[in-house]
């Protein structure tokens, strides 16, 4: 392990600037989409008075949850003492920061009035989970920056475990807060469930590790650095465990809902007759996001193919976006039970009916812009600072524990 050295991302300038130009172009398109929505108002989107959190929130919450999970790689090395993961820690901390900033950027720009964020930062209602999250997000950024300092400055190395433990506890609180946004809302039939907090924590492990694995593999391949099978297989197997854990909580959530008669209509909506939401659940969340990746990861031959494992990681990310779509938009689209046990026979405001929602191009573009922002900051970071080890070969790692 002492033979591991770190240096900047050393790909040739033409490829590097070309990559940044592509990402900057995507961000510019996202900026145009935001200006369009800001100038015309949110009526040009698919959102309305029922579905007030649209596709931008799907991307934003996904990135925020993934940011927490990306830091898990660093925690395994410094908090839980798995030495083989320590060379991976600096990139883990960087991704945690950039993913969170990308998600928050989308979140702020989707407010309609971004300047109103000042009100949220100066007037706190601590009965609101949103007020808690302002502290959780800002605190997370500050703690991870200090955590990176202890990892990358030899003089601060003695504090790495203590700061890492604090960062681990904070990120659990952050993801609990994000999941509780939905768990605390009693006015929506699909929300109001305590299981959202632990479910979001486990999902963060899967989403964050899938993104981390893709970025690490991409960075090493482009710079022709060696990434040994030993560590790659460990990350792959860890991803499988997290995906299986996420699937378990999804099953537990729906079985618990099915036990209560009051939730039967919502469960039928999501699982059977919800149209796009049912398709997103079974095809996107369950099949593409869980069963297919698990089948690839634990298949005796496919599990040894880096191309197949990379495809599995991409599927986990796509399944994560589908999960957020079902949770966030499906939970809003399903009608609230205004008068339990009664049927509304006449209404001009979609009371008692499923709210129509179709994501608009500006919404999708803004969400993708958040992803591009996170990647651009990551690639700039690894280019100018020593976040990447020079090698992760089996010989250099010594297969250490």
Evaluate if residue 120 carries a pLDDT over 80. no
| Most confident option among 58-67, 133-142, 149-158, 391-400 | 58-67
In a domain, 347, yes or no: no
Stated pTM of the model: 0.92
Q: How many CB atoms lie within 10 A of CB 134?
A: 15
Residue 95 to residues 78, 90, 258, 380, 382: CA-CA distances in angstroms? 17, 9, 38, 12, 10
Q: Residue 230: give the domain boundaries.
A: 6-336+364-397
Cβ–Cβ contacts within 10 Å for residue 339, how many? Answer: 10
- Which residues are within 8 A (CB) of 164 and not within 5 positions of it... i.e. 6 or more apart? 74, 75, 78, 79, 147, 150
Average pLDDT over the chain, rounded to whole? 88
Asked if residues 99 and 375 have their Cβ atoms less than 8 Å apart, the reply is: no
Measure the CA–CA gap between 371 and 327, rounded to whole angstroms. 20
Integer-rounded Cα radius of gyration of the chain: 22
Distance of alpha carbon 126 from alpha carbon 177, whole angstroms: 13
| Predicted confidence (pLDDT) at residue 348 exceeds the cutoff of 80 | no
Identify whether the C-beta of residue 254 lies closer than 8 Å to the C-beta of residue 190: no
- For residue 41, pLDDT over 80 is answered with yes
Comparing CA positions, the residue from 215, 202, 209 lying closest to residue 239 is: 209
Judge whether 79 and 165 are in contact, CB under 8 Å. Answer: yes
Question: Mean per-residue pLDDT for 180-207?
Answer: 86
pLDDT score of 140 more than 70: yes
Is residue 1 in a domain? no
Check: CB of residue 219 under 8 Å from CB of residue 388.
yes
Summarised one tens digit per residue, pLDDT across range 163-190 is 999 999 999 999 998 888 888 887 777 7
In a domain? residue 76: yes
pLDDT tens per residue across span 245-281: 999 999 999 998 888 777 888 888 899 988 899 999 9
Determine, yes or no, domain membership for 132: yes
In this prediction, residue 2 carries a pLDDT of: 59
Q: Which parts of 262-344 fold into alpha helices (H)?
A: 264-268, 276-279, 292-297, 306-324, 331-333
What's the CATH code of the domain at 159?
A: 1.20.1630.10
DSSP-derived secondary structure for 353-374: SPPP----HHHHHHHHHHHHHH
Work out how many domains the chain is built from and give that number: 1
358 within domain boundaries: no
Cβ atoms 36, 362 nearer than 8 A: yes
- Phi, psi at residue 107, to the nearest 5°? -60, -45
More confident residue, 11 or 125: 11
More reliable by pLDDT, 186 or 325: 325
Mean pLDDT within 56-71: 94
Percent of residues, the chain, with pLDDT higher than 70: 93
CA dihedral 347, 353, 354, 358 (to 10 degrees): -30
In a domain, 357, yes or no: no
Report whether 372 contacts 203 (CB < 8 A). Answer: no
Q: Per-residue pLDDT for 285 more than 80?
A: yes
> Does any domain span residue 238?
yes
Residue 73 reports pLDDT greater than 70 = yes
Q: 339 pLDDT exceeds 80?
A: no
User: Band of the pLDDT at 11, cuts 50, 70, 90?
Assistant: confident
- Segment 352-359 shows an average pLDDT of 80
Q: In angstroms, rounded to a whole number, what is the distance separating the alpha carbons of residues 371 and 381? A: 15
Residue 237 covered by a domain: yes
């Amino acid at each position: 392990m002492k033979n591991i050295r770190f240096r900047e991302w050393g790909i040739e300038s033409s490829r590097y600037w070309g990559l940044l130009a592509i990402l900057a172009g995507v961000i510019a398109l996202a900026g145009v989409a935001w200006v369009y929505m800001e100038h015309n108002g949110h009526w040009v989107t698919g959102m309305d008075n029922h579905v007030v959190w649209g596709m931008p929130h799907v991307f934003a919450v996904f990135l925020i949850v993934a940011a927490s999970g990306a830091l898990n790689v660093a925690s395994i090395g410094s908090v839980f003492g798995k030495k083989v993961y320590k060379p991976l820690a600096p990139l883990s901390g960087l991704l945690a920061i950039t993913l969170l900033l990308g998600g928050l950027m989308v979140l702020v720009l989707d407010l309609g009035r971004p300047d109103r964020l000042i009100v949220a930062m100066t007037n706190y209602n601590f009965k609101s989970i949103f007020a808690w999250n302002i502290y959780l997000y800002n605190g997370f950024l500050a703690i991870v920056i200090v955590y990176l300092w202890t990892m990358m400055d030899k003089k601060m190395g003695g504090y790495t475990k203590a700061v890492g433990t604090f960062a681990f506890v904070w990120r659990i609180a952050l993801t609990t807060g994000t999941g509780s946004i939905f768990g605390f809302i009693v006015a929506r039939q699909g929300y109001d469930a305590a299981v959202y907090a632990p479910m979001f924590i486990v999902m963060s492990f899967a989403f964050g590790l899938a993104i981390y694995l893709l970025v690490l593999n991409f960075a090493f391949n482009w710079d022709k650095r060696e990434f040994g099978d030993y560590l790659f297989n460990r990350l792959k197997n860890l991803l499988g465990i997290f995906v299986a854990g996420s699937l378990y909580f999804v099953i537990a959530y729906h079985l618990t809902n099915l036990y209560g008669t009051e939730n039967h209509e919502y469960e039928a909506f999501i699982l059977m007759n919800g149209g796009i939401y049912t398709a997103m659940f079974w095809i996107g969340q369950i099949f593409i996001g869980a069963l297919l990746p698990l089948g690839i990861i634990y298949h005796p031959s496919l599990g040894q193919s880096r191309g197949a494992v990379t495809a599995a990681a991409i599927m986990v990310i796509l399944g994560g976006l589908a999960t957020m779509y079902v949770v966030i938009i499906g939970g809003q689209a399903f009608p609230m039970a205004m008068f339990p046990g009664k049927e509304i026979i006449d209404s001009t405001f979609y009371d008692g009916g499923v709210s129509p929602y179709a994501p608009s191009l500006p919404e999708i573009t803004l969400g993708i812009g958040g992803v591009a922002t996170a990647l651009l900051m990551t690639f700039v970071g690894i280019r100018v600072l020593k976040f990447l080890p020079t090698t992760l070969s089996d010989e250099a790692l010594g297969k250490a524990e």
